[in-house]
Amino acid sequence: MTSANAGHTGKVIVTVAPTGGFLTRADHPYVPTQPEEIAADVARCAAAGASVAALHARRPDGQATCDAAIYRDINARVRAACDVVINNSTGGGINGDLLRVRPDGSRTIDWDARMEGVDGGADTCTLDAVTAYVSGPDGREVLMDTPMERAIELAAAMFERGIKPEWEAFGPSHLAREVTRLTALGFDAEPYCVNLVLGLDTTFQNAVPYTPADLQHMVDALPDGSMFTVTVNGPQQFRGLAHALALGGHIRVGIEDNPCLVPGEPAENVRLVERAVTLVQSLGLEPATPDEARRILGLPAREDAAHAI
Tell me if residue 307 falls in helix, strand or coil: coil
- Label residue 299 by pLDDT band (50, 70, 90): very high
Q: Which domain CATH number covers 176?
A: 3.20.20.70
- 305 lies in some domain: no
Domain presence at residue 302: no
Q: Judge whether residue 1 has pLDDT over 50.
A: no
**Quick check: 197 and 168 in contact, CB under 8 A?**
yes
Residue 1 lies in a domain: no
pLDDT at 136: 84
Q: How far apart are CA 172 and CA 160, in angstroms?
A: 28
- With 70 as the cut, is the pLDDT of residue 307 above it? no
Single-letter code of the amino acid located at 99: L
Does the structure show a pLDDT above 70 at 6?
no
Average pLDDT, the chain: 94
- Phi/psi at 236 (5° precision): -90, 15
In this structure, is residue 304 part of a structural domain? no
Q: How confident is the model at residue 303 (pLDDT cuts 50, 70, 90)?
A: low
Domain range holding 261? 11-296
307 is a domain residue: no
Backbone angles phi, psi at 156, to 5 degrees: -65, -40
Q: What Rg do the C-alpha atoms of the chain give, in angstroms? A: 17
Question: Structurally, how many domains does the chain consist of?
Answer: 1
- As a whole number, mean pLDDT of residues 90-96 equals 94
Which SS3 state, helix, strand or coil, does residue 228 take?
Answer: strand
Report yes or no on 2 lying in a domain: no
Residue ranges in the chain assigned as alpha helix (H): 35-48, 68-81, 111-115, 148-161, 172-174, 180-184, 212-220, 237-246, 269-282, 290-297
For 161, the 3-state DSSP assignment is helix
pLDDT tens digits, one per residue of 160-182 = 999 999 999 999 999 998 999 99
Q: Are 16 and 52 in contact (CB under 8 A)?
A: yes
Residue 59 lies in a domain: yes
The CA-based angle 248-127-201, given to 5 degrees, is: 70
At residue 309, the pLDDT reads 39
Task: Report which of 80, 81, 85, 123 is spatially closest to residue 287, judged by C-alpha positions.
Answer: 85
Residue 297: phi, psi to the nearest 5? Answer: -80, -10
Does residue 29 belong to any structural domain of this protein? yes
**Tens-place pLDDT, residues 132-156:** 999 988 888 999 999 999 999 999 9
Indicate whether 8 pLDDT > 60.
yes
